Amino acid sequence: MARKIKVLDSLLASKIAAGEVVERPSSAVKELIENALDAGASAITVHVAEGGRRLIRVIDDGEGMSREDAAMAFLRHATSKVSREEDLYGVRTMGFRGEALASISAVARVLLRTRQRGDVSGTAIAIEGGAEPAVSDDGCPEGTSIEVKDLFYNTPARLKFLRSTGTEFGRVMDVFKRAALINPDRRFRLIHGSMRALDAAPGSQRQRIADIFGPEAAKKIIEVDTPLVRGYIGAPETSYPSAKGLFIYVNGRWIRDKGVNRAIIDGYGTLVPAGRYPFAILNILISPEDVDVNIHPAKTEVRFKNTGFIYDIMKAAVKGALARGLSQAGQAAPVGGPKYGGGVVGNAPFAAEPEASREAGWSPLEAARPGGAEDIRNPEFLELDTVGQLWGEFLIAQGRADFYVIDQHGAAERIAFERLRKEYFSGAGVRGQMLLLPERFEAAPEESGLIARLMPYMERLGFEITPFGPSSKTGGETFLVKAVPAILSGRGAATLIKELAEEAAVAGGGGRVEERIEEVLMRIACHSVIRGFRALSKDEGNALLRDLARVDFARHCPHGRPIVKRFSRPEIEAVFGRQADAAWTRRRS
């Protein structure tokens, strides 16, 4: 059988981006998963022990290798993916440099077992620390298994830079998720020690999102389906203080690209607050000749031939999907529907109160609203009457000589924020409400430590959180939420708690929560209301106006965006050239 793997000539090898491809266990896992994908595997299983420091084993059912190819695979720049310089400008495989196995075997004890489809026996190759390999026959199944033991055992200087077992496993989990998300047609299993962290069967990408992020997350996504961009984006209320929720691919390859991130954020416009990042899993489908993937050792950065074009198609794809998703939500929402917090996002209905329990108000503050005249801060709102809505997002309210356009979400968020701030600074802290059934959630290793340090601060914010043992799925901890701020009653708190932990990490630790308390209160307020389309009845609209009358908000939401625009009657008359007629009418009356 003809040999597939060849050592590249020195000229071609010199044109390949140089660099160490194995920095930590997750780097090795990434390279081995990519090799399995290139081999046409329909099932990939990853075993790790001690976060990958002691053991990494990647098993696939791909095409396998011949004995000759298996031995060649450990030579640097030995690859079957490219054979001439022109191939570098149209790479169609995940791997192409021929560096991974050579780099891994130089710093670990490696055992490769492989058998081609149809062969009677397979091949085993054992290599330790870059020494001469030992080759033997092996009765392994079809496909390839690569076992990496004691990573960096012979380079103690690099070994000491590895983090804790939990942190390293978290990085492995991130790499595994990125590969599993974009390949939903293949089975992915991840096992840490004796615990099965993830087992995702082949299916649709929506199902794969549910497998990895949970069924609730899969309900709050909107499909993106254009000729050049495909995937899913999150509903506008799902956002993060970092870009961790952005999973961007080019022809199936996960990448980092600030320009693409900016295009996605710009596609959301004002639906996502400034400084926040949405959730998105998007694959850019372009000709391999139009993107250079050979500019970074880890192949996580690319160079597009036309960056402006990529920006435009990404922004348009996100903006169009949001318009369709929110429009569908609007068609499904009942007119004069439930109290604010009902309605739908995408195809995901949110729990609504029974008709019999609805009152004339819609705000979550209704139960705590004081009734004294001394609480009125903006009396002009008490003189207004709701006359309609624009696109299910903006309230139209009319007075005797003017009318107002009000951003419903921004107004509701401001009302909730002011109530939370008043409660917090009263000395007693935010009023909490015990949950009938505690909410259980699992946190990744890097999240677990932060959440544990945050718990004393969270108590003043109305939360009661307790540890509930290690998590078999994430390698971190499991927590129980026993109480939440009253304003969040009926809403899941796990996502918010993780967001607050991440914001504390960005800020420099849990101790910064007190310094950034208003930002924290903004996040809680934002989670207490729904953004996007929300049909309001006349009574609900007027209840919003009564709430605004009691809020000292300077006509802006907590994030600083305007939420009220006033138009006077003379302005409207001027638009239609009726100033003289209007003045004469007013004089006669």
Question: In 3D, which of 371, 376, 379, 412 has the Cα closest to residue 394?
Answer: 412
Q: Has residue 512 got a pLDDT over 60?
A: no
How is residue 459 written in tokens?
A: 């108590």
Per-residue pLDDT tens over the stretch 1-10: 567 666 655 4
Q: How confident is the model at residue 586, as a pLDDT?
A: 57
* Cα 95 from Cα 221, distance rounded (Å): 31
Per-residue pLDDT tens over the stretch 287-323: 888 888 766 666 778 889 999 999 999 999 999 999 8
Residue whose tokens read 């718990």: 455
Reported for 195-200, long-range contacts at CB under 8 A and 24+ positions apart, including other chains, are 195/472, 195/473, 195/475, 196/472, 197/173, 197/472, 197/473, 197/474, 197/475, 198/173, 198/473
Element (DSSP H or E) covering residue 409: helix 408-424
Q: Has residue 520 got a pLDDT over 90?
A: no
Q: Has residue 17 got a pLDDT over 70?
A: no
What is the DSSP code (8-state) at residue 441? E
Query: What angle (nearest 5°) sits at the alpha carbon of residue 431, between those of residues 555 and 412?
Result: 25
Would you list the DSSP string of 290-301?
GEE--SSTTS--
| R_g of the chain computed on alpha carbons | 29
**Contact between residue 280 and residue 272 where contact means Cβ atoms under 8 Å apart:** no
- CA 99: distance to chain centroid? 31
* Cα 413 from Cα 408, distance rounded (Å): 8
Average pLDDT over every residue of 74-92 = 57
How is residue 81 written in tokens?
A: 């993916």
User: What mean pLDDT, rounded, does the chain reach?
Assistant: 79
Query: What angle (nearest 5°) sits at the alpha carbon of residue 517, between those of residues 516 and 518?
Result: 95
In terms of pLDDT, which residue wins out, 570 or 134?
Answer: 134
Residue whose tokens read 């109480």: 483
Strands (DSSP E) along 293-373, which ranges? Answer: 303-304, 344-345, 348-349
Would you list the DSSP string of 17-78?
PP--S-SSHHHHHHHHHHHHHHTT-SEEEEEEEGGGTSEEEEEE-S----HHHHHHTTSTTE
Q: Which domains are delineated in the chain?
A: 6-203 (3.30.565.10), 215-330 (3.30.230.10), 335-589 (3.30.1540.20)
- With a pLDDT cut of 70, the percent of the chain lying above it is 77
Q: Which residues pair with 466 in a beta bridge?
A: 480
| Amino acid code (one letter) for 175 | V
Average pLDDT over every residue of 461-476 = 79
Q: How confident is the model at residue 184, as a pLDDT?
A: 96
Burial environment of residue 165 by CB neighbours within 10 A (0 to 12, 13 to 18, 19 or more): buried
Integer angstrom CA distances of residue 56 from 16, 213, 351, 484, 508: 27, 24, 44, 40, 32
**Contact between residue 6 and residue 83 where contact means Cβ atoms under 8 Å apart:** yes
How is residue 144 written in tokens?
A: 């390839």
* Cα 37 from Cα 47, distance rounded (Å): 17
Element (DSSP H or E) covering residue 432: strand 432-443
- CA 388: distance to chain centroid? 35
Map residue 177 onto helix, strand or coil: helix
* Secondary-structure percent of the chain, ordered helix, strand, coil, rounded to 5: 40, 25, 35
Q: Has residue 353 got a pLDDT over 50?
A: no
Residue 423 backbone phi and psi in degrees, to 5: -65, -45
First-to-final CA distance of the chain: 102
Per-residue pLDDT tens over the stretch 28-43: 999 999 999 999 999 9
**Contact between residue 88 and residue 79 where contact means Cβ atoms under 8 Å apart:** no
| Torsional sign, CA 341, 342, 343, 347 | positive
How is residue 290 written in tokens?
A: 């139009």
Confidence of residue 56 (pLDDT cuts 50, 70, 90): very high
| Amino acid code (one letter) for 538 | K
Q: Which residues of 451-490 are buried (b: 16+ CB within 10 A; e: fewer)?
A: bbebbebbebbbbbbeeeebbebbbbbbbbbebbbbbbee
Residue whose tokens read 């952005």: 246
**Contact between residue 144 and residue 60 where contact means Cβ atoms under 8 Å apart:** yes
In terms of pLDDT, which residue wins out, 244 or 232?
Answer: 232
- With a pLDDT cut of 90, the percent of the chain lying above it is 30
Confidence of residue 266 (pLDDT cuts 50, 70, 90): very high
Q: How confident is the model at residue 489, as a pLDDT?
A: 67
Contacts of 289 (CB under 8 A, 6+ apart): 89, 90, 305
Q: Has residue 460 got a pLDDT over 70?
A: yes
Average pLDDT over every residue of 445-459 = 79
Q: Has residue 518 got a pLDDT over 90?
A: no
Q: Has residue 55 got a pLDDT over 90?
A: yes
In terms of pLDDT, which residue wins out, 398 or 224?
Answer: 224
Query: What angle (nearest 5°) sits at the alpha carbon of residue 181, between those of residues 177 and 182?
Result: 125
Per-residue pLDDT tens over the stretch 225-240: 999 999 999 988 788 8
Map residue 470 onto helix, strand or coil: strand
Q: Which residues pair with 114 in a beta bridge?
A: 123, 144
Average pLDDT over every residue of 94-107 = 74
Question: In 3D, which of 417, 326, 399, 327 has the Cα closest to residue 363?
Answer: 417
* Cα 473 from Cα 199, distance rounded (Å): 10
